[in-house]
Amino acid sequence: MHPVGPLPASVYWRRRACAVGVALLAFFALLWLSTWLLIPRGSDEPSGTAARTTPDTSTTAPASPAPASPAPGSGTPTVPPSSPLPAPAARGASPAPPAGPSAGPATPNAGPADETVRPDDTPRPSVQVPQAAPSPPTGPVPCTDAMIEVRAETGQPAYPAGARPELRLVVTNTSGQPCVRDLDGEKQEIAVWSGDGARKLWSSNDCSNPSSDDLRTLVPGQPVAFAVTWTGLSSAPGCTAARDRVGPGGYRVLARLDRVVSEPAPLLMS
């Protein structure tokens, strides 16, 4: 407790403190080395490695046992992987027929439900008519059958099998003065006849024949057109019979307004 020597006492105390510090450091180093040697080396792996190893082990486990024992009370039912297999097998046993244009009888009222004759506003050239006469003071006169011309047209001369031809009715005032004519839908008809003209195969009045209020003034030489999209199926009055698809061949298209009937227009179905 009382250092003895030629140097001041503080020097000896500092030396003693240094010696004690070195001894403590040596003691702790020896303790750490003993602990490191006694603990197995496998436990020294970093925690990050163990965390990465855990997901890899779970992903290699088979997924099929999970659906076999679903957790009770689960909101989403688990479907075993084998359950969807019977459906494809059933479909394979009786495959559906490929879709394509029908060449034989069709179901009643097959095709689009609307075969209504509609106005056709396609621009058309004027027709040469006699020199126009002034209208009487009372206004345009009624159009007589002799004052109008009815013409049948097809969208194109030939259509492939299964196509839906566009057929038209064109009315023109061929007189020299304006006249008034009722173009009511009930007074119009577009029909397809056999090539020899012996049988009417389809009519726009059979399945759709709505009445319309269409009283208009026909300007001399200015055509007024109506069109319909034909399904290519036969029809009968009242549309109660089965409708068969018309086969390939040559046909006639006729248009009518009241008692005025057009000349036939050829139509080829290939």
User: Token pair 């080829």 is at which residue?
Assistant: 268
Res 36: pLDDT: 67
CA distances from 66 to 63, 77, 81, 254 (A): 6, 12, 11, 72
Pairing of strands 158-159, 265-269: parallel
**Domain total in the chain:** 2
CATH classification of the domain holding 246: 2.60.40.2360
What residues form DSSP beta bridges with 148? 173
111 belongs to a structural domain: no
Q: Determine, yes or no, domain membership for 244.
A: yes
253 with 156: CB under 8 angstroms?
no
Burial class (CB in 10 A: 0-12, 13-18, 19+), 258: middle
pLDDT recorded at residue 19: 83
Which structural domain, as residue segments, surrounds residue 19?
1-38
Say if 85 falls within a structural domain: no
Amino acid at 29: A
Residue 82 included in any domain: no
- Residuewise pLDDT in 10s, the chain (270 residues): 666 667 777 777 788 788 888 788 888 888 878 776 776 555 444 444 444 444 444 444 444 444 444 444 444 444 344 433 334 344 444 444 333 333 333 333 444 457 999 999 988 898 888 876 777 788 899 999 999 999 999 999 999 988 999 999 999 999 989 999 999 999 999 999 999 999 999 999 999 877 888 899 999 999 999 999 999 999 999 998 999 999 999 999 999 999 999 999 999 999
| pLDDT computed for residue 206 by the predictor | 94
- For the entire predicted model, the pTM comes to 0.58
Q: Would residue 70 count as lying in a domain? A: no
64, part of any domain = no
Residue 78 lies in a domain: no
Residues 128 and 247 in one domain: yes
Residue type, 263: E
Yes or no: say if 171 and 181 are a contact pair by the CB < 8 Å rule.
yes
Say whether both 34 and 167 belong to one domain. Answer: no
Same domain, 31 and 129: no
Residue 170 lies in a domain: yes
